[in-house]
A and B are shown apart, each in its own frame.
Chain A
Amino acid sequence: MPVIKDGQLVEDDWTFMPDSVPLDEVSRPVISLARWQGESRALRVRNLRLGLRLPNDADPAAVGAELHRFALIELEFPTFRDGRAYSQARLLRERHGYLGELRAVGAIGRDQYFFLDRCGFDSVTVAGDEAELARALEGWFEAMAEISVPMQPASDRRPPASSLRERRRAAAGAS
Chain B
Amino acid sequence: MARRLSGDLDEDRFKPLRLMNGVYLQLHAYMLRVAIPYGTLDSREMCRLARIARVYDRGYGHFTTRQNIQFNWPKLAEVPDILADLAEVEMHAIQTSGNCIRNVTADHFAGAAADEVEDPRIHAEVIRQWSTLHPEFSFLPRKFKIAVTGAARDRAAINVHDIGLQMLRNEAGEPGFRVVVGGGLGRTPIVGPTIREFLPKAELLSYLEAILRVYNRLGRRDNPFKARIKILVASVGGDVFAAMVEEEWQALRGGSLDLPEEEVARIAAYFASPPFEALPAQDTGFEAMRFEDRDFARWCRTNLHAHKQQGYAILSISLKPVGGVPGDATAEQMEAVADLAERYGQDEIRVSHEQNLVLPHIRLRDVHAVWQGLVAAGLGAANIGLVSDIISCPGLDYCNLANARSIPVAQRIATRFADLDRQHDIGELKLKISGCINACGHHHVGHIGILGVDKKGSEFYQITLGGSAGEDASLGDIVGPAFSYDDVVDAVETLVETYVGLREKGERFLDAYRRLGPAPFKEALYAGH
Which residues of A are at the interface with B, using a C-beta cutoff of 8 A?
A: 57, 59, 80-84, 86-88, 90, 95, 109, 111-112, 114-116, 118-119, 147, 150-154, 160-163, 165-166, 169
Assess the B217–A84 pair: CB atoms within 8 A. Answer: yes
Assess the A84–B216 pair: CB atoms within 8 A. Answer: yes
Which residues of B are at the interface with A, using a C-beta cutoff of 8 A?
A: 13, 16-17, 99, 129-140, 205, 213, 216-217, 221, 251, 255-257, 259-260, 262-263, 266
Assess the A165–B263 pair: CB atoms within 8 A. Answer: yes
Assess the B135–A166 pair: CB atoms within 8 A. Answer: no
* A90-B266 Cα distance, complex, nearest whole Å: 29
Assess the A86–B133 pair: CB atoms within 8 A. Answer: no
Closest to A154 in B: B135
Enumerate chain B residues within 8 angstroms of A115, measured Cβ to Cβ: 133, 135-136, 138-139
CB distance from A84 to the nearest CB of B (A): 6
CB distance from B133 to the nearest CB of A (A): 7
Enumerate chain A residues within 8 angstroms of B217, measured Cβ to Cβ: 57, 59, 84, 87-88
* A170-B393 Cα distance, complex, nearest whole Å: 49
Assess the B139–A162 pair: CB atoms within 8 A. Answer: no
Assess the A151–B130 pair: CB atoms within 8 A. Answer: yes
Enumerate chain B residues within 8 angstroms of A119, measured Cβ to Cβ: 135-136
Question: Max chain A CB contacts within 10 Å: which of B99, B129, B134, B135?
Answer: B135
Contact of B135 (CB < 8 Å), options: A114, A162, A169? A114
Enumerate chain A residues within 8 angstroms of B139, measured Cβ to Cβ: 80-83, 86, 112, 115
Assess the A109–B13 pair: CB atoms within 8 A. Answer: yes
Enumerate chain B residues within 8 angstroms of A84, measured Cβ to Cβ: 216-217, 221
* A81-B136 Cα distance, complex, nearest whole Å: 12
CB distance from B20 to the nearest CB of A (A): 8
Closest to B255 in A: A153
Enumerate chain A residues within 8 angstroms of B255, measured Cβ to Cβ: 153
Given A87-B213, A87-B216, A109-B13, the answer on whether A150 and B136 have CB atoms closer than 8 Å is no
Given A119-B135, A163-B256, the answer on whether A83 and B251 have CB atoms closer than 8 Å is no
Closest to A57 in B: B217
Enumerate chain B residues within 8 angstroms of A90, measured Cβ to Cβ: 136
CB distance from B162 to the nearest CB of A (A): 16
Q: Can you name 11 extra interface pairs (CB under 8 A) apart from A90-B136, A152-B132, A166-B262?
A: A81-B99, A84-B216, A87-B216, A88-B217, A119-B135, A151-B132, A151-B133, A152-B131, A152-B205, A162-B259, A165-B266
